[in-house]
Amino acid sequence: MKKILVLHTGGTIAMKEDALTGGVSPDVANPLMDATITLPENVELLVEDIFNLPSPHVTPRHMLQIKTRIQLAKLAGVDSVVITHGTDTLEETAFFLDTTIGNQLPIILTGAMRSSNELGSDGLYNFESAIRVAAASKSQGKGVMVVMNDEIHSARYVTKTHTTNVATFRTPTLGPIGLISKHRILFMQELLETQHWDVDTVEGLIPIVKAYAGMHGELFEGLVQTEIDGLVIEALGAGNLPPETLPPLQKMLDKKIPVVLVSRCFNGIAEPVYDYQGGGSELQKMGVIFCNSINSQKARIKLLIAQNRHLSREELIHFMEN
């Protein structure tokens, strides 16, 4: 008998639409708690409402709470975990778990774009699909996954791409690692091994700044005066910044504040290619760290984990760049 721990955390999958106003909000009781689903053979569900929050309310401390609960479940003999979550920050929780827990057991996150009583509600179907993936023997060693709309995505690269479409979760450049058919769970890609760091704290202030044409240095100048613990920049193109931003950025680096750079582009990676003022090659020489395969919100989670592990400069660079 395979034991699967189900952790409900809230989100649209646990909400209802008001018939009069059309507003969608949390229900008094999570509709999934009493839902009837078809379970795979030899599966036992252990179901918990760990909290019930819209995902914009979810913080790294909630992610830490989920991680701790999963680790305790692993010690108690649970084989895999399914987490229902709001979609707005689902990718960040998934990435946090993937980076701290890794491949210890299959962890599947799922959600919904339509609440439980809306026409075409997708929550119950996604929930059942997530349980099927969690029960599949092939899910071992795949890290944390996101299952929605008949697709299986790696937590490392998946992102929300549409505000309302049920096919919102996509993996730019690489595509899904697997598909869900009526009778089979199909994995078609293998992931490269990555480094994992467990943490017991998630303290730190790490903002994200997006670069734009004509950007000046005032915003960076203001950040230099604050007590930030790190900074993530969504840079232009392959990883470039307007030249006016460089003087305050240098002040930040001189204060030993780690600055991590990703591209604001949807596809591709950030890399130090251009050798002009503000170009990626010059930024790397200044000490900016290039995080070349994830988006800014995930780079922030990764830097937060690194800061709470108190990594050395060399360890930090290796962790962020790989």
The C-alpha atoms of residue 165 and residue 176 are separated, in whole angstroms, by 17
Active site (annotated) includes residue 201: no
Q: Do residues 105 and 142 touch, judged by C-beta distance below 8 A?
A: no
Taking alpha carbons only, the member of 276, 288, 190 closest to residue 235 is 288
Q: What angle do CA 217, 220, 221 make, to 5 degrees?
A: 80
Query: Is beta strand 80-84 parallel, antiparallel or unpaired with respect to 2-8?
Result: parallel
Q: Burial level of 173, CB count in 10 A (0-12/13-18/19+)? A: exposed
Q: Burial level of 309, CB count in 10 A (0-12/13-18/19+)? A: middle
Active-site position among 9, 12, 87, 93: 12
Taking alpha carbons only, the member of 136, 137, 135, 173 closest to residue 154 is 173
- At residue 63, what is the residue type? M
Query: 307-311: long-range contacts (C-beta < 8 A, 24 or more apart)?
Result: 307/204, 307/206, 307/229, 307/230, 307/258, 308/199, 308/200, 308/201, 308/202, 308/203, 308/204, 309/197, 309/199, 311/197
Which residues are catalytically annotated? 12
